[in-house]
């Protein structure tokens, strides 16, 4: 029997894309039911987050609610944004992070795996979350972004590749326009928060607060100040 899951490609507002997951088989086999998608106001399934596909838990055991960690002040603007996002999403595991709710982990560190090996792990372990890497890509986003970059299946999920995939999502959020002053920092910050659930809204809450255990992992003041400094630097 085949069962489907739905995910969103890119920013909120783009069409839902439904993917089918085959019945479990092979060394990763685990018979776990797929989660039930939260429902939006129209009754349609609503994705908890681009990077969370587990109804009962967030990406990692919660970081301190008021995470005011000082981030590096040097490097490219993109690299500094990478650090900010990773702080909100990946915990201490960085590029080898795997969503803690995944009951069957990959057979080796993600940075030692090819994209195809990650896809095989995803296919063989339905019914569990699969967010992976420093920027916590869920399956649909990983496949779609890799295809946009024309990355072949044998591409290693290296730190450099993960950064390229993250850059693609930064572009979707309007990074270039924000650097040129064509959109205000607040708009860019909102777009980022719509992609990465650990980033806060002005209220201090996650855009996905209450879905899949999500919550913002840093103060909005810290987030806003850091993004503004990056854009102005």
The answer to whether the predicted template modeling score (pTM) of the entire model surpasses 0.75 is no
Residue 59 has pLDDT above 60, yes or no: no
| Mean pLDDT over the full length of the chain | 77
Query: How far apart are the C-alpha atoms of 118 and 156, rounded to whole Å?
Result: 10
Query: Is 78 buried (19+), middle (13-18) or exposed (0-12) by CB count in 10 A?
Result: middle
Kindly state the average pLDDT of the residues 58-78. 56
Checking if the pLDDT of 113 tops 70, the result is yes
The string of pLDDT tens digits covering residues 181-228 is 999 999 999 999 999 988 999 999 999 898 767 789 899 999 999 999
CA diameter of the chain: 54
> What pLDDT was estimated at residue 73?
61
Out of 13-17, 78-82, 94-98, 125-129, pick the least confident.
13-17
DSSP annotation of 95 reads: G
pLDDT of residue 75: 87
66 alpha carbon, distance to own chain's centre: 21
Any idea where the domains of the chain sit in the sequence? Answer: 3-232
């Amino acid at each position: 029997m085949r069962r489907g899951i739905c995910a969103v490609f890119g920013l909120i507002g783009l069409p839902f894309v439904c993917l089918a997951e085959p019945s479990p088989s092979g060394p990763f086999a685990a018979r776990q039911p797929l989660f039930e998608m939260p429902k939006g106001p129209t009754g349609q399934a609503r994705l908890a987050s681009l990077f969370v596909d587990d109804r009962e838990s967030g990406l990692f055991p919660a970081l301190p609610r008021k995470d005011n960690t000082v981030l590096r002040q040097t490097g490219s603007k993109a690299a500094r944004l990478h650090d900010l996002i990773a702080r909100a999403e990946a915990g201490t595991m960085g590029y080898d992070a795997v969503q803690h709710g995944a009951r069957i982990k990959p057979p080796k560190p993600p940075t030692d795996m090819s994209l195809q090996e990650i896809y095989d792990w995803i296919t063989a372990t339905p019914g569990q979350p699969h967010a992976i890497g420093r920027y916590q890509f869920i399956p649909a986003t990983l496949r779609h972004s890799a295809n946009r970059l024309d990355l072949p299946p044998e591409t290693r999920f290296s730190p450099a590749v993960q950064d390229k995939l993250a850059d693609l999502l930064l572009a979707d959020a309007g990074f270039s326009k924000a650097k040129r002053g064509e959109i205000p920092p607040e708009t860019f910050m909102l777009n980022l928060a719509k992609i990465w659930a650990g980033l806060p809204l002005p209220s201090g809450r996650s855009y996905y607060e209450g879905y899949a255990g999500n919550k913002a992992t840093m103060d909005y003041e810290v987030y806003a100040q850091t993004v503004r400094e990056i854009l102005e630097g």
